[in-house]
Structure 1
Amino acid sequence: MSIHGLAASTTTGPSHFDIVKVIRPNILALHPYRCARDDYSEGILLDANENALGHSITRPDGQHDPLLDLDLHRYPDPAQNTIKERIASLRSLPGVDHVFLGVGSDEIIDLLMRVCVAPGTEKILTTPPTYGMYGVCAQINDIAVVKCPLELTGTAGEGGEAGRFSIRVSEIKKAIDADPTIKLIFLCSPGNPTGTLIPLSSIRAILEYQNFTGIVVVDEAYIDFASDEASAASLIKEYANLVVMQTLSKSFGLAGVRLGVALAQPPLIQVLTNTKAPYNISTPAAHIALSALAPASITTMRSKIATLAASRLGLIIELAALASLGLGSVLGGNDANFVVVPVLGSDGKPDNTRAQRLYRSLAEENGVVVRYRGSEPGCEGCLRITVGTDEENRTAIAKIRTVLSAI
């Protein structure tokens, strides 16, 4: 069975992978909905039941809002190929047929499960501690989750290649051997909440494991905060069983726009395109994304990443200075825009109760909101602290010092 809409193309490796056997039969048989803008987008447009008189938004203050100058009364471009071209160029991929756009990475996570994993009978594999939406989407779709925890003890090695929060490739292989119903493996790199980067050699080892005939999903929401050579996007040309998720929310500073990206070989991209909602990327989101992906904006983005990386190092140093008040050493590989630090009890061990007291006091009495992560495997007593501006970081450190002194 072929994939609707896919021109004849040859996928690249590995030999044990066949996408037609991974995608659910009902999805392969799907004839995607054709929307009005799939055929024509210019001329007197009387085909889509849009409001020909335009939007009715009036600013009471009389101020001009450039977004209101967009054709908001028209449905958006369903393909958004200009955005895809810029992303393909940025990530060194051949073209738009290697790029899919979603409403944040969460839409892509949900779509991958719906097109690949049969509810009630097939499974996904995750490596906790990890991003919580994998489990939420799995539960919504009636999909069981096989959990293969990261290495939860020890000290992170150089580049995250060994030690705490590294992935255990041999254990993942054992899980695959024990359960052939696993269709997707979700790897978060750099990890959330760990901040640890997964080496490309470990990802390759799973992609090439012949007993796994499903798809490896590498979630790279924070990849721009790591080294330039860290992205698994460089493996896409070699592996048809790989999809890399990225986003404009983190390094691009556009969390409010909700634009997620999937990078893969054309067959999987076509399947996702066939399954998505017709106009999933709004006109304002597309307009802002195009501006963010312009060369000058990318230069600015990289400059801000360098600033945040320097601030991250400064934050780690300042947190280490609070050791005498019961703050442990920062954990993980620290390749993202946050750090994870354990709060210790009087016995010198991670203490969830004290961490929760610090967390609540910071938010409710001191105006500093961090994230409690103590319920995650290997993260007992931990708080996750996003790198802020220099002023925000100084304030956070001062408030943490004050609260720790009192609890």
Structure 2
Amino acid sequence: MPILGLAPSSEPPKPAHFDIEKVIRPNILALHPYRCARDDYQEGILLDANENSLGHSIQTSAQIPSELQSVLEANLHRYPDPSHDEIKSRIAQLRSLPDEKHVFLGVGSDEVIDLIMRVCVAPAREKILITPPTYGMYSVCAQVNDIGIVRCNLNLSGSEGEGGERGRFSLLVDDIKAAVSADPSIKLIFLCSPGNPTGTTISLQSLRSLLEYEPFKGIVIVDEAYIDFAGEGASAVSLIKDYSNLCVMQTLSKSFGLAAIRLGVALAQPPLIQVLTNTKAPYNISTPTAHLALAALEPGAIQGMRDKISTLLTSRDTLKESLSKLAHLGVGPTIGGNNANFLVVPILNTQTGAADNTRANKVYKTLAEEKVAEESCVVVRYRGGEPGCEGCLRMTIGSEEENKTLLKRLESVLEAM
């Protein structure tokens, strides 16, 4: 059954063993998308969508932050553009993809995660594969959708200094291949690169090996929320042209500093993008979000984003060095690849030198809850329950002043224990 809205292609599929029409659930392939009022016309006297023609009723004196007052000037009484092709075109250009047909927009990456599960994986019968420690929403969305979960841990025992295919938190490709060979009901493989909470990138060699593995007929999803902090050549987007069984997720939340607008991105070949488009809610991206996204994708704003990344990377190295000076208080060396805008640090038992979940959790709570003089509380993230992350705290790279406060407070809390 052809994908509705997609022109037939004479090109042979790459890789040859992948057939997207056998991955997508039959009811989704047969779906006729809801045609909304703005699919056909977006200009003129618009009397087709049962909107309030007199406009919104929010007073300019309302308790709305001053920085958001300009939003009231948008046509908030009109439904937004259902396609946002200009945003997609700018993203395609930024990520060196051919056109907007390779781009899907979601309400954060979480909508993309949920949607791709719903279009590909049959509830109560089929499964996804994840690689702990990893982003928790893969499991949450699977449970919500009544989808089975197969877990193949990352390399938890590799040396921090090895790197490459054998380093700590690298992908155990052979284990994943064995899992999908043993269980044909696995439809999706979710990978995180750089990982959350590992900060480690997945090598393109490992990805190619999975994408070309003939027994796996499903789709590999690579979550690249932190990719702009990882340096040149790390992104899997470069593989999209050769692999129709690859979907790369990105977001404007991290490097672009736009977490509040909730804009996630899926990048893939047009067939998968078309299926996601056919299935999404009609107006999933709001007009205020679209305006802000377009502004963030202007050349000047992109350069500003890159400048801030450079500053954060320098701050990351400085914070890492400063944390090493607290080793005598039980702060272990940072773990993982350190390729994102955070560091993961084990808190050790000063008597045994082992990672200590109890001590780490106490440090986490004390930092967040006990205020000292005029200093602010400092909220980091306790990750000790994740495989391979015993005793670990995850620390986002803050401003220079925030990092100084973190170090001062952390030293004080550890000294008091």
TM-score w.r.t. the length of structure 2 is 0.96
- Determine if contact 1:343/1:354 at 8 Å carries over to the other structure: yes
Specify the code of the residue in structure 1 equivalent to 2:316: R
Q: Deviations over 1:18-73 (max 9, x none)?
A: 00000000000000000000010011000000111111111227968221111111
Unaligned segments of structure 2, at least 5 residues: 372-376
TM-score w.r.t. the length of structure 1 is 0.98
Match of 1:370 among 377, 380, 383: 380
Query: 1:5 maps to what in 2?
Result: 5
**C-alpha displacement of 1:162:** 2.6
CA distance in 1, matches of 2:265, 2:362: 38
Query: 1:46 maps to what in 2?
Result: 47
Specify the code of the residue in structure 2 equivalent to 1:100: F
Query: 2:130 maps to what in 1?
Result: 126
Q: Deviations over 1:149-206 (max 9, x none)?
A: 0011232356654311101001101111111110000000000000000011100000
**C-alpha displacement of 1:283:** 0.1
- Determine if contact 1:160/1:197 at 8 Å carries over to the other structure: no
Specify the code of the residue in structure 2 equivalent to 1:39: D
CA distance in 2, matches of 1:21, 1:294: 39
Matches within 5 A, 1:348-363: 348-363=353-368
- Determine if contact 2:13/2:19 at 8 Å carries over to the other structure: no
Aligned: 1:150 with 2:151: no
CA distance in 2, matches of 1:259, 1:343: 34
Identity of aligned residues (%): 68
Query: 1:250 maps to what in 2?
Result: 254
Specify the code of the residue in structure 2 equivalent to 1:27: I
CA distance in 1, matches of 2:200, 2:319: 17
CA distance in 1, matches of 2:387, 2:173: 18
Query: 1:187 maps to what in 2?
Result: 191
**C-alpha displacement of 1:263:** 0.2
CA distance in 1, matches of 2:6, 2:22: 16
CA distance in 2, matches of 1:94, 1:405: 56
Label 1:375 to 1:239 Cα distance change in 2 as closer, same or farther (>3 A): same
- Determine if contact 2:192/2:222 at 8 Å carries over to the other structure: yes
- 304-313 or 52-61: bigger deviation: 52-61
Query: 1:310 maps to what in 2?
Result: 314
* Structure 2 residue matching 1:124: 3-state secondary structure: strand
- Determine if contact 1:88/1:96 at 8 Å carries over to the other structure: yes
- Determine if contact 1:343/1:383 at 8 Å carries over to the other structure: yes
- 8-17 or 28-37: bigger deviation: 8-17
Specify the code of the residue in structure 2 equivalent to 1:201: Q
Specify the code of the residue in structure 1 equivalent to 2:329: L
CA distance in 1, matches of 2:253, 2:161: 28
Match of 1:334 among 312, 327, 338: 338
Match of 1:396 among 377, 401, 406: 406
Matches within 5 A, 1:284-323: 284-323=288-327
CA distance in 2, matches of 1:21, 1:12: 13
CA distance in 1, matches of 2:162, 2:330: 26
- Across the aligned residues of Structure 1 and Structure 2, the Cα RMSD in angstroms comes to 1.2
Query: 2:31 maps to what in 1?
Result: 30
Query: 2:329 maps to what in 1?
Result: 325
Specify the code of the residue in structure 1 equivalent to 2:17: H
Match of 1:216 among 180, 195, 220: 220
CA distance in 2, matches of 1:59, 1:26: 47
* Structure 2 residue matching 1:340: 3-state secondary structure: strand
**C-alpha displacement of 1:227:** 1.2
Specify the code of the residue in structure 2 equivalent to 1:50: E
Aligned: 1:58 with 2:59: yes
- Determine if contact 2:131/2:154 at 8 Å carries over to the other structure: yes
Specify the code of the residue in structure 1 equivalent to 2:218: G
* Structure 2 residue matching 1:358: 3-state secondary structure: helix
Specify the code of the residue in structure 2 equivalent to 1:376: E
Label 1:369 to 1:201 Cα distance change in 2 as closer, same or farther (>3 A): same
- 368-377 or 149-158: bigger deviation: 149-158
Specify the code of the residue in structure 2 equivalent to 1:146: V
* Structure 2 residue matching 1:305: 3-state secondary structure: helix
* Structure 2 residue matching 1:360: 3-state secondary structure: helix
CA distance in 2, matches of 1:103, 1:42: 25
Specify the code of the residue in structure 1 equivalent to 2:35: R
CA distance in 1, matches of 2:62, 2:133: 48
CA distance in 1, matches of 2:346, 2:315: 20
Specify the code of the residue in structure 2 equivalent to 1:45: L
Match of 2:348 among 341, 344, 347: 344
Q: How many residues end up aligned between the 2 structures?
A: 407
CA distance in 2, matches of 1:48, 1:16: 44
Runs of 4+ in 1 over 4 A off after TM superposition: 61-64, 157-160
Specify the code of the residue in structure 1 equivalent to 2:243: Y
Specify the code of the residue in structure 2 equivalent to 1:403: V
